[in-house]
Structure 1
Amino acid sequence: MATEAHDVVDLIRTKRDRGTLSTAQIDWLIDAYTRGYVADEQMSALAMAILLNGMSRDEIRDLTLAMIASGERMDFSGLGKPTVDKHSTGGVGDKITLPLMPLVASFGVAVPQLSGRGLGHTGGTLDKLESIPGWRASLSNEEMFDQLRDVGGVICAAGSGLAPADKKLYALRDITGTVEAIPLIASSIMSKKIAEGTDSLVLDVKFGSGAFMQDIARSRELAQTMVDLGNDAGVRTTALLTNMNVPLGLAIGNANEVRESVEVLAGGGPADVVELTLALASEMLRLAGQPDADVAEALRDGRAMDTWNRVIRAQGGDPTAPLPVARETTTVSAPRSGVVLRQDALPFGIAAWRLGAGRARAQDAVQHAAGIDLLVKPGDTVVEGQPIFTLSADEPSRFARALESLEGAWEIGDASDYVAGDPLVAERIG
């Protein structure tokens, strides 16, 4: 039996005592964990030490590169056009990938959007798209390359070969209370994105009540860490810090978020979804060498919609087919006249999850028609009895718990008490 190069207990002690791990130690650690030599309980202890004591920029870079080295790397250089991707840290009503990918692809740029599924209150892009009859998430690498060459964009599941060490560590973090460790979040996201082989990357890092990280300072630290990792690895990377205190758009769920995305591609849709789509598209195209691209015009003139239809058809979907509709709905009305003062994102995300739009465990199925349609937003004037949001579910027994999660999540008051929220895009990093 071969002698191992390092002792994992020594590495745990080093991080416990606020020391620094060498490149060789981190390379060995990730390889040994992937092989099964380092046990889950040992990696759990190390993850907790990292959560409590942090890592240096060099350590985070080495961790990210070691996770990339655990699997395959994709190479899009043969496409003959620039590639640019976007990653969002997730939130409530965040369907931006859906209109964004075809919008950017309509400018002749390749957009390889390797996406995931939802867990808990944050929705997954693949779950949303699977509302479309016939659409499939799993593509071979050859199918993905062909689609990027012919159509310009793809949204599909990441293959199991990309950063397998991350997949193993991600599952462990979820059950050991170490999800929030910024070095582990940053290396998890960026190992997959760098291994994906894109030339450029724009990060949409959320803050606020419905975000993974509620505090803007922590979100800024995460964004800067990921921007540094990308640029260090030769991927042009920038980030936008965006507000997730209020649900994004008017639809929260799967099929209804697809419906809203199509409205945006048709030149309509809620103002906040359009604003963020245009901001991210401009940033992606700037990195791809088109700083003067008129992204608003591409929504108006139908180019982005044409690309959307081609992408959906290329993956077996029918963009003209009716989307699923829930069997049951219930509507909540305004108890008084006034102005909508507040609409907290997180409780609305939890309510949609309880209606069946999300999953508690990775193996759970989602109900594509379940969700919430907001009929008003903060700042809107309402009259007593006016409908303010509608819940949809296939099983009416789900309504009680969903409504329970919304108690105190919204408020109607006097116009004099209304304070406008922070800007949607707070700052740009990188």
Structure 2
Amino acid sequence: MIPQEIIRRKRDGDELDPADIRSFIAALAAGQLSEGQIGAFAMAVWFKGMSREEIVALTLAMADSGDRLQWTDIDRPIADKHSTGGVGDNVSLMLAPIAAACGLAVPMISGRGLGHTGGTLDKLESIPGYRITPDADLFPKVVKQVGCAIIGQTGALAPADGRLYAVRDVTATVDSIPLITASILSKKLAAGLQTLVLDVKVGNGAFMADRAQAEILAQSLVEVANGAGVRTSALITDMNQPLADAAGNAVEMRNCLDFLAGGKADTRLEAVVLAFAAEMLVKSGIAASSEDGEGMARRALSSGKAAEVFARMVSMLGGPADLLENPGRYLARAPVEKPVLAARSGWLAACDARGIGVSVIDLGGGRRHPADRIDHRVGFSELLSLGTRVTAGEPIALVHAANDAAAERAAAALAAHYRITEDSPKLTPVISSRI
């Protein structure tokens, strides 16, 4: 295999043979390619694209670049969910234990915050003692005994993706649909999944702000995953406002615990969580229809079974056994809490969801550089939903900050992210389509 020949053929728009793709990715994983060669390959793909067959071959080659998890000793269907990222998107935290309570095994390998979007691992690290990188024996043990485990990617899973992504990040090739598809799915294939559901976000708080592009990405992900042997579907969901009524780390964890206790009924967040639970159960053959699946998920919540699964997962992964009973003992609170007041009376008609995510970073709740330490205490809570009628001077959110100056800046920024109108707005459905 001559790397520059593969790069040249893709540069010229040729379709690459699967064997050549496998050879290139094997060399990448083995450290035999220069960053220049990797960047040239990524740029050629960015400009020329890839056929569906090429993307399947790339995904499989990246998945095979490291270990593949095996679940032969678990008699439950193996399922997972992935989100393309949003603000106030803590769905995974509740979805995994709900799905497990309904009979699925969910080995969920999650990520940290990326750009303005929050990361599931950062939220979990607000729990004292929780191990996001357990040893190789503990992860399958928790999945088998509890039904779910949410952890971070290890270096042994799809290592080629890690090196390719690092180069893409500095060569302006992140937003290539073939490369996004292979990056997401290679890690999921390496996790040994049988079924997968995808949450493809669209809106001003998503990476895909344009609906047409979101649909193209969703279609690519679904077709490639199914082509690689994993039963997969996708829901396109709205990210023109935070999904939960909180954005941050510990504040979203408290939101999660409230949800599992039944405190977030009839919200946009509940609609998304239950829809994905139903989709997972139907795809895995446990539920006959979406209605049946949603009913099972609701019963897992109302009975307390999902909360029990979550508590057991946290305890087995090193967190406190009584987190659900005593969240205030473990989830640190910021020293300053300041209400954000409506500047005028009217309807909350629109907001800059991306701006809210950036404001969380400004508070210290996200990273500007990979090595930055996160302040898990900070963020926003009690965020009112769009379509809410407010009176001038009424709180529309609560800032959690490390000091008074940061709280003042964040409150002013958040108020500026919302538009208040005299007329009631027409809102986008939280789930717009299924692919």
The alignment's TM-score, normalised by the length of structure 2, stands at: 0.93
Quickly say closer, same or farther: Cα 1:341–1:289, change in 2 above 3 A. Answer: same
> 1:30 corresponds to which residue?
25
- Correspondent of 2:356 among 348, 357, 377: 348
> 1:82 corresponds to which residue?
77
> How far off is 1:375 after superposition?
3.6
> 2:284 corresponds to which residue?
288
Q: How does 1:202-213 map to 2 (within 5 A)?
A: 202-213=197-208
Deviates more, 1:255-264 or 1:9-18: 9-18
**Structure 2 unaligned residues grouped into runs of 5+:** none
Quickly say closer, same or farther: Cα 1:335–1:408, change in 2 above 3 A. Answer: closer
Quickly say closer, same or farther: Cα 1:375–1:208, change in 2 above 3 A. Answer: closer
Q: 1: CA distance between counterparts of 2:184 and 2:11?
A: 24
Aligned-residue Cα RMSD (Å) equals 1.6
**Match status 1:43 vs 2:43:** no
Q: 1: CA distance between counterparts of 2:327 and 2:429?
A: 36
Q: 2: CA distance between counterparts of 1:317 and 1:73?
A: 27
Q: What residue identity is the alignment partner of 2:279? A: E
Q: 2: CA distance between counterparts of 1:169 and 1:43?
A: 7
> 2:367 corresponds to which residue?
359
Q: 1: CA distance between counterparts of 2:60 and 2:348?
A: 47
Q: What residue identity is the alignment partner of 1:420? A: K
The answer (yes or no) to whether the contact 2:337–2:398 under 8 Å persists in 1 is: yes
- Correspondent of 2:176 among 150, 172, 181: 181
> How far off is 1:324 after superposition?
0.8
- Correspondent of 1:332 among 323, 334, 340: 340
- Correspondent of 2:11 among 6, 11, 16: 16
> 2:107 corresponds to which residue?
112
The answer (yes or no) to whether the contact 1:88–1:206 under 8 Å persists in 2 is: yes
How many correspondences in the alignment? 422
**Deviation string for 1:168-195 (max 9, x for gaps)?**
0111111111110000000000000001
**Match status 1:412 vs 2:424:** no
The answer (yes or no) to whether the contact 2:347–2:425 under 8 Å persists in 1 is: no
Identity over aligned pairs, percent = 43
> 1:142 corresponds to which residue?
137
Deviates more, 1:132-141 or 1:122-131: 132-141
Partner-residue secondary structure (3-state), 2:73? helix
**Structure 1 unaligned residues grouped into runs of 5+:** none
Quickly say closer, same or farther: Cα 1:77–1:343, change in 2 above 3 A. Answer: same
> How far off is 1:108 after superposition?
2.1
> How far off is 1:12 after superposition?
2.3
**Match status 1:103 vs 2:105:** no
> How far off is 1:228 after superposition?
1.4
- Correspondent of 1:276 among 272, 275, 294: 272
Quickly say closer, same or farther: Cα 1:403–1:375, change in 2 above 3 A. Answer: closer
The answer (yes or no) to whether the contact 2:10–2:16 under 8 Å persists in 1 is: yes
> How far off is 1:147 after superposition?
1.0
**Deviation string for 1:39-67 (max 9, x for gaps)?**
11121122112112211111111111111
The answer (yes or no) to whether the contact 2:343–2:415 under 8 Å persists in 1 is: no
Q: 1: CA distance between counterparts of 2:381 and 2:127?
A: 18
Q: 2: CA distance between counterparts of 1:83 and 1:90?
A: 22
Quickly say closer, same or farther: Cα 1:401–1:170, change in 2 above 3 A. Answer: farther
> 2:306 corresponds to which residue?
304
The answer (yes or no) to whether the contact 1:351–1:403 under 8 Å persists in 2 is: no
